[in-house]
Amino acid sequence: MNYDQAIEYIHGTSKFGVKLGLENVKTLLDLMGNPHKNLRYVHVAGTNGKGSTVAFIGSILVESGYRVGIYTSPFIQRFTERIRINNDEISKEDLARIASFVREKVEIMVSKGFNHPTEFEIVTAIAFQYFFEQDCDIVVLEVGLGGRFDSTNVIDDPLVSVITTISYDHMDILGDTLSKIAFEKAGIIKDGTNVVLYPQADEAERVFEEVCKEKKAKLNKISFDVAKILGFSIDGQEFNYKEMKSLRISLLGKHQIKNAVTAIEAVSVLREKGYNITEDSIRKGLLKAKWPGRLEVLCRKPVFIIDGAHNLEGARALTGFLKEYFPQNKIVFIMGILKDKEYLSIIEEVVPYAKYIITVTPQNKRALPAKELSEIIKRYCNNIVTSDTIEGAVKKSLELTPEDGLICAFGSLYYIGEVRSMFSLS
């Protein structure tokens, strides 16, 4: 297969749906020679903040001189963003070659009567094979969905398991209480390993404590009380953490300081295990970390921000950021969301800050149509525009906003990348 054929093949397997469980991906990887068993991992689960935490950890490790595989989902603009080494995306040629190799093994599986792997299982297998071939020192591995039955959980013995913030999302799959969701996330904790835990609601935290006790895992519960914010602007933030003073990050929003602290604690575990990670590499790694599409400023006149806030916790982080950074502004929002998200709660959170809301339909079969979203928003806000295209929504937002105004496109990451592309960012 060439690259385009490989992408068509990968996306074509979406018809096999989401099937949580490890037997299928184990069978596929076994046919591939178990490339994942030759790698070391930092495994990151959570509801929100996984990607940013992965970005911080990966950047610190790169600055420490390691060859670092990074696996994330979904992508913003290009599929190859999901599989990177030292922040360089997998080449189209390598993706096509490895996808062809994986497809051969899938055909053997199916011929033997096994279920066809899902899209995520296939992509995960491609990533493992690439990181193995490229001889990565360490892989920072983001969980796709949940943890216990996620394809990434085939790994045996992570150097450290990291749990970011837990909240309500994918409740149809993971459960309708925080304790049920936490139980699924805690599935990445392995016997006798190290766990770094972002502060959680009590009912979730109890679950992690119980699982760590049962598995004799060493639990490091983070406290943000010793993190002190020194300053912030749309160019970045500065903070102290423990004995480290004047740390700087480019990512925006108070929650990103918390994600940075989580990353610091994760690499501290690696230091204890003998990895050469200096304070200087932590400083440089934090500052250089990028995570596109999350409170990202695309232009300044007017200020145009994109953010993949697609659940209530993400929406609260977004409005908290907007209140702090732009307290006087009434905002022109562009909103596109998937129909299986808690969009009513998100709308209620965002509407008080809205001058206008422009609705769009993300490019996804689970998308809530823009017209339907507009009808729902009308219950809360009268200034609504329905756009047939993403490009039309961006143009309309710029027409409605003066140079000193503020535009925020938020919601599903399945349309945020198209907005980003319109500003010639790659």
pLDDT in tens, 84-125: 999 899 999 999 999 999 999 999 999 999 999 999 999 999
What pLDDT score was predicted for residue 169? 59
Give CATH for domain 296-421.
Answer: 3.90.190.20
d(CA 253, CA 103): 42
Cis peptide before 74 (omega within 30 of 0): yes
Q: How confident is the model at residue 60 (pLDDT cuts 50, 70, 90)?
A: very high
Measure the N-to-C terminal CA separation of the chain; round to a whole number of Å: 25
Q: What is the mean pLDDT of residues 367-373?
A: 96
pLDDT at 340 over 90: no
* Long-range residue pairs from 210-218, CB within 8 A, at least 24 positions apart, any chain: 211/183, 211/186, 215/189, 215/190, 215/191, 216/191, 216/192, 217/161, 217/189, 217/190, 217/191, 217/192, 217/193, 218/193, 218/194
Q: By the 8 A CB rule, do 194 and 270 touch? A: no
Query: Is beta strand 303-307 parallel, antiparallel or unpaired with respect to 331-336?
Result: unpaired
Q: What is the mean pLDDT of residues 206-233?
A: 96
What pLDDT score was predicted for residue 258? 96
Can you give the length of the chain in residues?
Answer: 426
- Helix or strand run (H / E) with residue 332: strand 331-336
Cis peptide before 302 (omega within 30 of 0): yes
pTM across the whole model: 0.93
pLDDT at 171 over 70: no
Q: What is the mean pLDDT of residues 63-84?
A: 96
pLDDT at 206 over 60: yes
What pLDDT score was predicted for residue 425? 66
Q: Sheet holding 41-45: strands in order across?
A: 88-89, 83-85, 68-71, 138-142, 41-45, 160-163, 194-197, 218-221
Residue 282 corresponds to which tokens in the numbers above? Answer: 């932590």
Domain residue extents for the chain: 3-288, 296-421
pLDDT at 426 over 70: no
d(CA 69, CA 195): 20
What pLDDT score was predicted for residue 240? 98
The amino acid sitting at 411 is G
* Superfamily for domain range 3-288: Mur-like, catalytic domain (3.40.1190.10)
